[in-house]
Amino acid sequence: MSSPADNFEASRAEKLHRIEQLGVDPWGGRFDGHTAIRDVLALPADKPDAERPKVRAAGRIVGKRGQGKLFFLDIRDWTTPIRTNEQGQERHALQVMIGQKQVNELSWKLVSNLDLGDLIGVDGSFGKTKMGEPTIFAESLTYLGKSLEPHPDKWAGMQEMEYRLRHRYLDLIYTPDTLDRTLKRIKIIKTIRNHLDGQGFVEVETPVLHAIAGGAAARPFTTHHNTLDIPLFQRIALELHLKRLLVGGIEKVYEIGRVFRNEGISQRHNPEFTMMELYQAYADYRSMMDLTEGLIVACVDALGGGRQLPYGEHTVNFEPPWQRACYVDLFREHVGVDMNDKDAVRAAAPKFKINPQIVVEGKVIGDKDHDVIVHELFEHAVEDKLIGPVFVHDYPAGLCPLTKRQRGNPNIAERFELYVRGMELANAYTELNDPITQEQTFRQQLAGLPEEDSMAKMDEDFIRALRHAMPPAGGLGVGIDRLVMLLTNTTTIRDVILFPLLRPEK
RNA sequence: GAAGGCGUAGCUCAGUCGGUAGAGCAACGGACUUUUAAUCCGUAGGUCGAGGGUUCGAGCCCCUCCGCCUUCACCA
């Protein structure tokens, strides 16, 4: 008894053998001068037979129809547009016609060995068939790779998320949105670089391996260096090194890089994700608002789909200027009480299903801090309403201990978050450059951390850097994955990351 | 971490009341020079996620486990 896989493997092995017997390498080699399928389809297709343009193309076989001495292939490459043909049908491939009399003898012998999933090079002329389908009329074929595995159903495609994630290479071929999103992500990141470079920022690379994982309050991944025999952490933020560079006089600096947080996985969280952080000397959070607006509008424009982008049921209007709203005002508007009125805030909490008491394992062990209740209320009552884009600015100082206070108002932190569709897209501060306050606040934060987070340590070296005077600065952080989600109408982070973390099979 | 859903051929999916495991595509053999989800004739393909239990009999009912999805919780 043979399994279907065995049958399949045996048949492909037999074809490999037959191709080799013809003196043809089934794995191909350098194939110069081929035209992208997008460009082939743009060639004039209505010339008389004798005047058809000569073309060379290469692609993956995604369809084949045999008809005795005439054979049709559908091939696809990474430029292949989705178009509607003269019959009103949607097509996502370029047709190749192989006629026994039109193609050379060796190529005709190869035809019976062609399978869905193979990579093939074609030389021929470009025109239309009697049915009006743009087609390459093949004169010779070149093998560029034989698929030894079956490919997904050509019409149903790939439906199961797990199958798509574990076979992303197939997903890129058979789910058009996957390739489209991937290319858009690349374009967005490139646009960010171009835009920032154009504003005089410089991009740097800072260490991924940290002796102390600082700059955020997240649990890090741990690792170990053998020669030094020390524990190391993968970075959870870019912040502390970039600020050292501010001290060093690099006045406009940014980094786009991977950060790692050893926390939950969800539609909006992957353990490794891409952050962009930038710092600008002698600027503040207001400067960052203008910069953020310009940066994201540049990304929107780069995608070429206009400034109103769909997201789920909504349309988000990225046309500047964007709304700017005070935290206090939004709070009053949606919660209905003044956030500084402690009794009123406490009384309002249950209306939004928030317990103003701290409960551990079913027991009340105390009252939550006022600022904590305020922020929980904000998250439950306000965030979802922020279709935006909207800059929420001037946070309660208690929520942002490491942010510079407003001059003359120590209860307000100079911070904003950019919200779009209820998602936090960017986070910016007027950075604290007073090393004494910074150190005190660090120590207070560390003192409050639970046992399991005891790997968090004071970064003395960073404090020492600040003590040499860091310029006042504005800082901005943008979660690139979430930005791509928003701009490509994608609801899960796993579809904007090519290879999101999955539990290994078996 | 909790609850719910899903897991059947390579892919996409049916499977009724517990009674011999099904279809389309893909594959294999054959016919066919303008097809395009080609058509026609024929063939093969299964650890029903894994393990245990109930039963004369389990894809289906029960238990345990694994994986994925969704919601919630967590989340600078």
Instruction: List the structure tokens of A468.
Output: 């040499």
Sign of the CA dihedral running A345, A351, A354, A359: positive
**In Å, what is the CA distance from A291 to each residue of A204, A287, A296, A426, A484?**
19, 6, 9, 11, 18
> What confidence score (pLDDT) does residue A3 get?
47
- CA-nearest of A193, A272, A201 to A236 is A272
pLDDT at A477 exceeding the cut of 90: yes
pLDDT at A120 exceeding the cut of 80: yes
User: A336-340 — which CB contacts under 8 Å span 24+ positions?
Assistant: A339/A374, A339/A377, A339/A396, A340/A411
> What confidence score (pLDDT) does residue A212 get?
85
pLDDT at A329 exceeding the cut of 50: yes
What angle, 0 to 180 degrees and rounded to 10, lies between the N-to-C axes of helices A239-247 and A460-467?
Answer: 30
Q: Which of residues 376-415 of A touch strand B (CB under 7 A)?
A: 401-402
- CA-nearest of A110, A173, A178, A177 to A144 is A110
What secondary structure, in 3-state letters, does A408-456 show?
A: CEEEEEEEEEEEECCEEEEEEEEECCCHHHHHHHHHHHHHCCCHHHCCC
pLDDT tier for residue A273 given thresholds of 50, 70 and 90: very high
Does any strand B atom come closer than 7 Å to the Cβ of A502? Answer: yes
* A365 against A153, higher pLDDT: A153
The integer distance in angstroms from the CA atom of A153 to the C1' atom of B15 is 21
The integer distance in angstroms from the CA atom of A416 to the C1' atom of B73 is 26
Q: Coil, strand, or helix at residue A349?
A: helix
> What confidence score (pLDDT) does residue A375 get?
82
Is there a contact between A289 and A415 (Cβ–Cβ < 8 Å)? no
Does any strand B atom come closer than 7 Å to the Cβ of A157? Answer: yes
- Residue A215 to residue A85: CA distance in whole angstroms: 54
Domain A176-322+388-495 has CATH 3.30.930.10: yes
The integer distance in angstroms from the CA atom of A9 to the C1' atom of B47 is 20
- CA-nearest of A190, A409, A177 to A302 is A190
**In Å, what is the CA distance from A260 to each residue of A209, A321, A440, A458, A480?**
10, 34, 27, 19, 14
Instruction: List the structure tokens of A341.
Output: 């009125």
Start-end ranges of CATH 3.30.930.10 in chain A? 176-322+388-495
Q: pLDDT, tens digit, for every residue of A377-426?
A: 888 888 888 887 999 999 888 777 778 888 888 888 899 999 998 888 99
> What confidence score (pLDDT) does residue A506 get?
62
The integer distance in angstroms from the CA atom of A276 to the C1' atom of B69 is 30
Instruction: Give percent of chain A with pLDDT exceeding 70.
Output: 94
Whether the predicted interface score ipTM is above 0.85: yes
* pLDDT mean over A265-290: 93
CB within 8 Å of A380: residues ≥ 6 apart: A352, A353, A354
Nearest protein residue to B31's C1' (by CA)? A68
* pLDDT mean over A286-301: 95
> What confidence score (pLDDT) does residue A449 get?
58
Q: What are phi and psi of A373, to 5 degrees?
A: -65, -45
Instruction: List the structure tokens of A267.
Output: 């539609």
- Residue A300 to residue A309: CA distance in whole angstroms: 8
> What confidence score (pLDDT) does residue A502 get?
86
CB within 8 Å of A408: residues ≥ 6 apart: none
User: A10-17 — which CB contacts under 8 Å span 24+ positions?
Assistant: A12/A115, A12/A146, A12/A147, A12/A148, A13/A148, A15/A113, A15/A115, A15/A146, A16/A146, A16/A148
Q: What are phi and psi of A488, to 5 degrees?
A: -115, 15
pLDDT at A107 exceeding the cut of 70: yes
pLDDT tier for residue A362 given thresholds of 50, 70 and 90: low
For residue A501, which nucleotide's C1' is closest to its Cα?
Answer: B68
* pLDDT mean over A291-313: 92
Instruction: List the structure tokens of A489.
Output: 């109408």
> What confidence score (pLDDT) does residue A320 get?
92
Q: pLDDT, tens digit, for every residue of A417-462?
A: 999 988 889 999 999 999 998 888 888 777 765 545 545 577 888 9
**In Å, what is the CA distance from A331 to each residue of A116, A120, A198?**
58, 61, 37
pLDDT tier for residue A1 given thresholds of 50, 70 and 90: very low
Stated pTM of the model? 0.90
Mean pLDDT of chain A: 88
pLDDT at A41 exceeding the cut of 50: yes
Beta bridge partners of A120: A59, A143
**In Å, what is the CA distance from A393 to each residue of A288, A289, A415?**
11, 10, 6
For residue A237, which nucleotide's C1' is closest to its Cα?
Answer: B76
CB within 8 Å of A129: residues ≥ 6 apart: A95, A97, A135
Assigned superfamily of A4-151: Nucleic acid-binding proteins (2.40.50.140)
* Cα angle value A496/A502/A504 (rounded, 5°): 150
What secondary structure, in 3-state letters, does A358-415 show?
A: EEECCEEEEECCHHHHHHHHHHHHHHHHCCCCEEEEEEEHHHCCCECEECCEEEEEEE
Instruction: Classify residue A408 as left (phi > 0), alpha (psi -120 to 50) or beta.
Output: left
> What confidence score (pLDDT) does residue A359 get?
64
> What confidence score (pLDDT) does residue A456 get?
59
For residue A74, which nucleotide's C1' is closest to its Cα?
Answer: B36
**In Å, what is the CA distance from A137 to each residue of A81, A118, A134, A326?**
20, 19, 10, 65
Does any strand B atom come closer than 7 Å to the Cβ of A17? Answer: no
The integer distance in angstroms from the CA atom of A505 to the C1' atom of B17 is 37
Beta bridge partners of A480: none
* pLDDT mean over A355-370: 66
Is there a contact between A113 and A153 (Cβ–Cβ < 8 Å)? no
pLDDT tier for residue A2 given thresholds of 50, 70 and 90: very low
Residues in chain A: 506
Q: Which nucleotides of strand B come closer than 7 angstroms to any CB of the protein?
A: 1, 9-13, 24-29, 31-39, 44-47, 66-76
Nearest protein residue to B33's C1' (by CA)? A70
Is there a contact between A446 and A456 (Cβ–Cβ < 8 Å)? yes
pLDDT at A371 exceeding the cut of 50: yes
> What confidence score (pLDDT) does residue A363 get?
61
**In Å, what is the CA distance from A227 to each residue of A113, A224, A230?**
54, 9, 8
Q: pLDDT, tens digit, for every residue of A170-205?
A: 999 999 999 999 999 999 999 999 999 999 999 999
The integer distance in angstroms from the CA atom of A187 to the C1' atom of B35 is 38
* A340 against A121, higher pLDDT: A121
Count CB atoms within 10 A of the CB of residue A338. 12
Start-end ranges of CATH 2.40.50.140 in chain A? 4-151
- Residue A339 to residue A327: CA distance in whole angstroms: 9
- Residue A411 to residue A433: CA distance in whole angstroms: 18
CB within 8 Å of A334: residues ≥ 6 apart: A381, A382, A385
> What confidence score (pLDDT) does residue A215 get?
84
Find the distance separating the first CA and the last CA of chain A, reported in whole Å. 26
